[in-house]
Amino acid sequence: MNLFRLAGDITHLLSIVVLFRKIRTTKSCAGISLKTQELYGLVFLTRYIDLVIKYHSLYNTLGKLIFIGTSLATVWHMRYHKVVKQTYNKDEDTFRHYYLILFCLGLALLIPRSFTVIEVLWAFSIYLEAVAILPQLVLLQRSRNIDNLTGNYVFLLGAYRALYLLNWIYRFFTELHRVLWIPWVSGLVQTALYADFFYYYIKSWKKHEELKLPA
């Protein structure tokens, strides 16, 4: 544990709080990509499958259960809640996310840390998380208006991953002294995907303007 990882975990948790606040208080999921939420659900289920075979710490276990539970709860609200599901932008959320799943699965089978089921699933989850935000970013580009809660949610998600990238760099110099190619490269790709969004988010915040992404 270090400051960067702790800050990353807190930022990630805050992004979930913001998302649930939007869904629960407004009874709306407008501007949220169901496909991205389904990808995150798959990410956490495959990454944290080791819960059934290994105990690390109470902090670690609670964190994993929270991320699995909240991601599945979000998908349930968007698919089955009688009010929330009616606000889902199905016609605009058209990114073919199953291509991302197939690509990342193939990559995990080719380049895992080791060729065991747990390690292949872990690599798959890391690769998939790197690109899971793509359906959400495409949806935001198609939306004319991005509400504050949705913008804050996406910003916090991006900040969480950037902090985790700093965590890996910090650990390289203080603990591991070896390059961890899978999380490093995946983290760089994921952070790069957010770069455009970060620019317009900060620009709109400084000018007190409505957040809009270029088409």
pLDDT tens digit at each of 215 positions of the chain = 789 999 999 999 999 999 988 998 899 999 999 999 999 999 999 999 988 888 888 888 998 999 999 999 999 999 999 999 999 989 999 999 999 999 999 999 999 999 999 999 999 999 999 999 999 999 998 886 788 899 999 999 999 988 988 888 888 888 767 778 899 899 899 999 999 999 999 999 898 888 888 87
The full set of domain ranges for the chain reads 3-207
> What pLDDT does 110 receive?
96
- Report the distance separating Cα 11 and Cα 7, nearest Å: 6
> What pLDDT does 54 receive?
82
> What pLDDT does 13 receive?
93
Q: Which residues contact 179 (CB under 8 A, 6 or more apart)?
A: 172
Instruction: Tell me how crowded residue 1 is: count the other CB atoms within 10 A of its CB.
Output: 10
Helix (H/G/I), strand (E/B), else coil: 146: strand
> What pLDDT does 168 receive?
86
- Cα distances (angstroms) measured from residue 46 to each of 64, 122, 176, 177: 11, 6, 25, 27
Helix (H/G/I), strand (E/B), else coil: 82: coil
Q: What is the pTM of this model?
A: 0.92
Indicate the helix (H) or strand (E) that contains 87: none
DSSP class of 178: S
> What pLDDT does 176 receive?
67
